[in-house]
Amino acid sequence: MSQKNPLRIGQLQFGNPEVTSSEMWKSAEHDDDDQPPLLVPISNGDLLKQNEKEDGEKRNKNGKQKRETDENDTSVSEIVSELNKTDPSPDGLKLFKWLIAPVSPKKFFEKYWERETLFIERNKATYYSNILTTEKLDGIFREYPLYYTRNVDVVSYQNGIKEVHNEEGRVVASALYDYYSNGCSIRVLNPQTYDQKVHLLIATLQEYFGTMVGTNVYLTPPGSQGFAPHYDDIEAFIVQLEGRKHWKLYKPTGSDVLARDSSPNLKHEDIGEPFMEVTLNAGDLLYFPRGTIHEGRTDADAHSLHVTVSVYQHNSYADLLEHILPEALKRAANEDVEFRRGLPVNYLKYLGWVNRDSQAEDRSLVLNHVEKLMQTLISYVDVDQAADKLGRKFMYDSMPPVLSKREAIHTSKYDGDFMKEGKILNRVEIDMDTEVRLLRYHCLRLVVEDDIPKIYYNTDNAKAYHGEEEQFVTIDHKLIPGIEILQNRYPAFIRVEEIPVEDDVAKAQLVSDLWERGLLVTNGPLHCFSDEETGEDVCDEDIGD
């Protein structure tokens, strides 16, 4: 797809006011809040500056960021109650707006995303409280089979040393609390597996970001610290649920800016002084880009419960290119004999580390030829194929969608055959007049691998990360237009008859296969038919809206 506006790319740096171009990562016509901008404006010196004076966000005399404040009284329960009514497409935006209010998504992506930290002070302790509480967490510890290392980590950090205290086997609440009483922090991995609201939070946000969203929960006792200074490979949203925690943030340097991998434990003497210190109270939020070195510690008189919402792990241009270049080289080698020609005889005499300063003519000839081949390689690049590989990974990494009641009764989850008193009731059929739409835009990804069309999907994923095998179904080439129109029309409903597949039998089978896998929702209950052999009415009058 062609880009509507020309893009100008400059050199992106973190914490360096001497940016090389006056406008970088620019998309000229993005004026709304509906989606994150593809590329957003940034001017010289804007990377670690605070916001404009008129927005009340300029640095104070101590160099600390002045707080964003929010008087929003909306709770997560109210937000949740508004989601998934009839059209789920705005839900991700609505939830993200609530998460970072009063900062708008547009302002967030222009000023903070991948650039600088954002601290939002709400003065409303209950703002995030309905997401998760220590009481709910206690119930999770007691009711679910959690295991050390797989589901729970017990950690401490004292005198520059981080220790992991995980036992073998299943977590017992009383033993866990003994560690807590002795100053250890508790980290719960993938809490969405056990809590519906956390699941809804990240399943909704993943539709907005178009990539995996993860969570971990951290419970820290008073006067303690669980982790050494370190940086992560994710964009981090620290959502303070209870108590308070004091954070120190340190600038990344060099290759650690927008880090591709998380760091080991770091030492204070190696990271310099913090550029920001802030205390998060319940209801507050702290965002910082991947690569930002951070550490958090509780005060002596307060515990802390927070959830870290993480996005954009391994979702960079480098990750896209890792898929692009090997495939491009494979195609080039198959189609262009120049890529298959042998290297010069005795090339090792003038190439390699020991010859890196050589001025030999043969060396220059080889280097020039390699440069020419690299220029030719560009013509074999297939960005769409590489994007589909990332899309396939997203399907495997992502959470299954959370269905509203109205959606559930119009999907295979609750519509269709069921058993009552030994009889199969509510036998339904999808006909040409049935109206359908995808459950979510990002519930499936159509890719073509070795000339075989495959649909990868997430509706059968486990809530535990990679808890099930990768889910996919193979389809015929003639069915591809049917998948395309379902995605292009989303979130609108479309009559089965309108799906551009010539063979009605194949069309009906495609829709039936998608519906049975939970990928389609109908615009009303399906038509129930009587048993043809007995003439018995097998419909249930209670089925419907």
Residues 258 and 280 placed together within one structural domain of the fold: yes
327 and 465 co-located in one domain: no
163 & 194 share domain: yes
Best CA proximity match to 444, nearest among 398, 512, 509, 508? 398
Closest CA to 312 of 373, 394, 376: 394
Residue 53, C-beta contacts closer than 8 angstroms, at least 6 positions apart: none
Instruction: Flag whether 82 is in a domain.
Output: no
Whether residue 410 lies inside any domain: the answer is yes
Question: Of 285, 311, 337, which closes a domain?
Answer: 311
Residue 63's pLDDT is what? 37
The beta-strand segments (E) located in 480-532 are 494-495, 520-522, 527-528
- Residues 255 and 306 reside in one and the same domain: yes
| 335 and 400, same domain (yes or no) | no
Distance, in Å, from the CA atom of 175 to the CA atom of 186, rounded to the nearest integer, reads 12
3 state SS of 171? coil
Domain boundary residue, one of 348, 381, 414 = 381
* Domain total of the chain: 4
Asked if 182 and 306 sit in the same domain, the reply is yes
CATH of the domain at 304: 2.60.120.650
Residue 541, in any domain of the structure? no
Are 218 and 339 part of one and the same domain?
Answer: no
Lookup: tokens for 380: 């074999």
**Under a CB-based contact definition with an 8 Å cutoff, are residues 9 and 20 in contact?**
no
CA–CA distance, 456 with 454 (Å, rounded to integer): 6
In angstroms, the CA 302 to CA 193 distance is 28
CATH number of the CATH domain containing 350: 1.10.10.1500
Residue 53 confidence (pLDDT): 37
Residue 492 lies in a domain: yes
State which residues form the domain around 290. 91-311
Residues 306 and 328 reside in one and the same domain: no
Percent of the chain whose predicted confidence (pLDDT) is above 90: 73
The amino acid that residue 424 corresponds to is I
Answer with the one of 251, 281, 311 that is the final residue of a domain.
311
Q: Considering the domain boundaries, does residue 419 fall inside one?
A: yes
List, as own/partner pairs, every contact residues 251-256 make where C-beta atoms lie below 8 angstroms and the sequence separation is at least 24, other chains included: 251/14, 251/15, 251/48, 251/275, 251/292, 251/293, 252/14, 252/15, 252/291, 252/292, 252/293, 256/231, 256/291, 256/293
For 384-442, write each residue's pLDDT tens digit.
Answer: 999 999 999 999 999 999 998 888 989 988 877 777 778 777 667 888 999 999 999 99
Q: Element (H or E) spanning 489, and its range?
A: helix 480-489
- Residue 505 covered by a domain: yes
Residue 404 has what pLDDT? 87
Strand partners, 215: 309
Tell whether 105 and 143 lie within a shared domain: yes
**244 and 133 share a domain?**
yes
CATH number at residue 470: 3.90.930.40
CA distance 478 to 509: 12
List the pLDDT tens digit at each of the 545 positions of the chain.
333 332 222 222 223 333 332 232 233 233 455 555 443 333 322 322 333 333 433 333 333 444 556 556 666 666 666 665 557 888 999 999 999 999 999 999 999 999 999 999 999 999 999 999 999 999 999 999 999 999 999 999 999 999 999 999 999 999 999 999 999 999 999 999 999 999 999 999 999 999 999 999 999 999 999 999 999 999 999 999 999 999 999 999 888 999 999 999 999 999 999 999 999 999 999 999 999 999 999 999 999 999 999 999 999 999 999 999 999 999 999 999 999 999 999 999 999 999 999 999 999 999 999 999 999 999 999 999 999 999 999 999 999 999 988 889 899 888 777 777 787 776 678 889 999 999 999 999 999 999 999 999 999 999 999 999 999 999 999 999 999 999 999 999 999 999 999 999 999 999 999 999 999 999 988 877 655 544 555 565 554 44
217-229 burial, b at 16+ Cβ within 10 Å, e below that, comes to bbbbbeebbbbbb
Residue 62 lies in a domain: no
Tokens of 280: 């998060």
**With contact defined as beta carbons under 8 Å apart, do 501 and 478 qualify?**
yes
Give residue-wise pLDDT tens across range 129-154. 999 999 999 999 999 999 999 999 99
CA–CA dist 261, 8 (Å, integer): 28
- Amino acid code (one letter) for 471: Q
Both 437 and 501 in one domain: the answer is: yes
Q: Same domain, yes or no, for 369 and 347?
A: yes
Phi, psi of 421, deg, nearest 5 = 55, 40
In-domain check, residue 194: yes
